[in-house]
Amino acid sequence: MEKQQKEVSSQALKFSIINYIGAAIGIVSTLFIYPNNKEFLGIIRYIFDGAQILMAFFVFGTSQSLVNYFPRFKDEAEKRNIFFSSTLLIVVINSILFSVVFLLLANSLSSLLPNFHAFDYIEYSIVVGFAFAIMDVSKRQVSNYKKIAIPTVLERFSIKVFFPTIFLVLLAGMISVETGKLIYTACFVVLLIIALVYVKKVANIQFDFAYKKVFDRSFRSEYIKYSVFAFLSILGSLLAFKIDGIMVPNLIENDAMTANGTYSIGVVLAATLAIPAIGLYTIYSPIIREYIAKDDIASLGKKYQEISMLLFALGGFLLSCIFLGVDDLFSILPTRDNLVDTIPVILILSFNVVIDMSTGFNSHILLYSKYYRFNMVAIAILVVLNISLNIYFIKYLNLGIEGAAYATLISMTLYNSVKLVFIYSKYKIQPFTKKHFILLPVFLGSVAILHHLPTTNATILDIILKVGTCMLVNGFVIYKLRMIPMLNNWIAQKLGVK
């Protein structure tokens, strides 16, 4: 047991390190490389987001079923191999069938609606989506063996490395945009092969497609029901969170892909705020599951508020610094002319991330509770809101990419509000404390005052004065309120204070 715990901790540490390194590479690329050709960035993001949505159809909930039913076969090597092999076969069959359907649909719509561009680059998205599907199934299988570091490298880190490389080669004039798209797609095929080799090694897979030995009539029915539910949940989530990258190019008429590239820069930079939340949710998921299983709602409520305080403090602290410093920072970068348009998107989406973080792990509470089906209701609400608001803000109010950002902010806020109300109605717990309402005006006040400070002729000095003062003021209040207990404990240890 102790050995297993050490392995889990080791994998969690590697997972965190890989994510932070990947995020650092992503930020550097976003600030210095991608702004030089936002049209190509928009095309790649379009391919990527389309592939993510197609992946849901190709996998069709089978990767979640692979995890859910693994304990049933973990002690029988033959059935374990058949179960994984059959899952791969289902993914391949689904990929062929849905690819044909989407290609036929694309051809029909392109003839009927020549200005409809939703299926542009679908051939690339199909290949990348298939690679994602195989990688997802492989990742789920090796996670059953407590291995997550290598799949994370394949899924996140490698993508953040080879895309900037392709971009740099394109900017150097060594390849064309068409060649760049082909190379980008080919890289995913390589990742697919590596993923299969790795899962074969870790899980000692001997491919066996004698599915009848595992999928008897009763299990087949249970498996299909669970997979369909998982598919609907994942598809809803992808439509909710990835739809912007599809809708922006289709609703903005002029320079659509350039606009998509600009929006993508804002998405990437705003998403870096959520890195602490991703790590904490990964760590606390088993704890949440345990509290709910034991019906220990009091402890769950305390942890709910503790994590919410920590994430609100971190998110608000970083957002305050971004708000005060982003204009000046971008003004001294060589890519400043191409970054200016992203500032409103960065601020709106960053504000959205902080709100999302402040509501804590409400999705996880729903996921591990008997009310897990309500998560689908909440996601359905989010999908309808996001699509409707995107059309309204972009098409009718002509707000462009800022409209897409506002649509995300409003829909996500309502989405989280619905979950908060539902959780409170069932468990009588909520994530907010008095400390939230003390710290909020401190954040707002410090930003309002420092934003109106007179500027000097030295941009770097302005950044130091405004952002530095903001960090000192907000950091002191966070410390005094003990919003981040581990920070207080670390400082007390360094100062020798009990």
Condensed to tens digits (0 to 9), the pLDDT of residues 189-221 reads 998 998 888 888 877 777 777 777 777 777 888
Residue 30 within any structural domain of the chain: yes
- pLDDT tens by residue, 465-484: 999 999 999 988 888 888 87
Q: Given a cut of 80, is residue 159 above it in pLDDT?
A: no
Helix (H) / strand (E) element for 67: namely helix 62-68
Q: What angle do CA 303, 308, 310 make, to 5 degrees?
A: 95
Token digits for 5? 């715990």
Check residue 454 and report its DSSP letter.
P
pLDDT attached to residue 19: 66
Q: 386: Cβ–Cβ under 8 A, 6 or more apart, which residues?
A: 239, 240, 243, 244, 407, 408, 411
Range in 23-32, 347-356, 399-408 the model is least confident about: 23-32
**CA 383/CA 408 separation, integer angstroms:** 10
More reliable by pLDDT, 433 or 78: 433
Residue 402 within any structural domain of the chain: no
Q: What is the widest separation between alpha-carbon atoms in the chain? A: 76
Q: Given a cut of 50, is residue 103 above it in pLDDT?
A: yes
Residue 430 within any structural domain of the chain: no
pLDDT tier for residue 146 given thresholds of 50, 70 and 90: low
Token digits for 105? 């649909």
More reliable by pLDDT, 254 or 481: 481
The alpha-helical segments, DSSP class H, found in 272-342 are 275-293, 297-331, 336-339
pLDDT attached to residue 6: 53
pLDDT attached to residue 18: 66
Do residues 161 and 201 make contact, with C-beta atoms less than 8 angstroms apart?
A: no
pLDDT attached to residue 320: 93
- pLDDT tens by residue, 125-143: 999 999 999 988 888 888 7
- pLDDT tens by residue, 268-297: 888 888 877 776 776 676 678 778 878 889
Residue 68 within any structural domain of the chain: yes
Q: Given a cut of 60, is residue 349 above it in pLDDT?
A: yes
**Which domain covers residue 175, as residue numbers?**
1-251
Q: What is the percentage of the chain residues whose pLDDT exceeds 70?
A: 89
Q: For the chain, what is the domain count?
A: 1
Check residue 194 and report its DSSP letter.
H
Do residues 133 and 95 make contact, with C-beta atoms less than 8 angstroms apart?
A: yes
Q: How many CB atoms lie within 10 A of CB 1?
A: 5
Token digits for 138? 């492989």
Q: Given a cut of 80, is residue 305 above it in pLDDT?
A: yes
Range 58-69 average pLDDT: 82
**CA 247/CA 236 separation, integer angstroms:** 15
More reliable by pLDDT, 459 or 293: 459
pLDDT tier for residue 423 given thresholds of 50, 70 and 90: very high
Q: What is the mean pLDDT of the chain?
A: 83
Residue 307 within any structural domain of the chain: no
Token digits for 69? 């039913």
Provide the whole-model pTM.
0.77
Residue 433 within any structural domain of the chain: no
Residue 315 within any structural domain of the chain: no
pLDDT attached to residue 1: 45
Residue 94 within any structural domain of the chain: yes
More reliable by pLDDT, 141 or 94: 94
**CA 193/CA 129 separation, integer angstroms:** 14
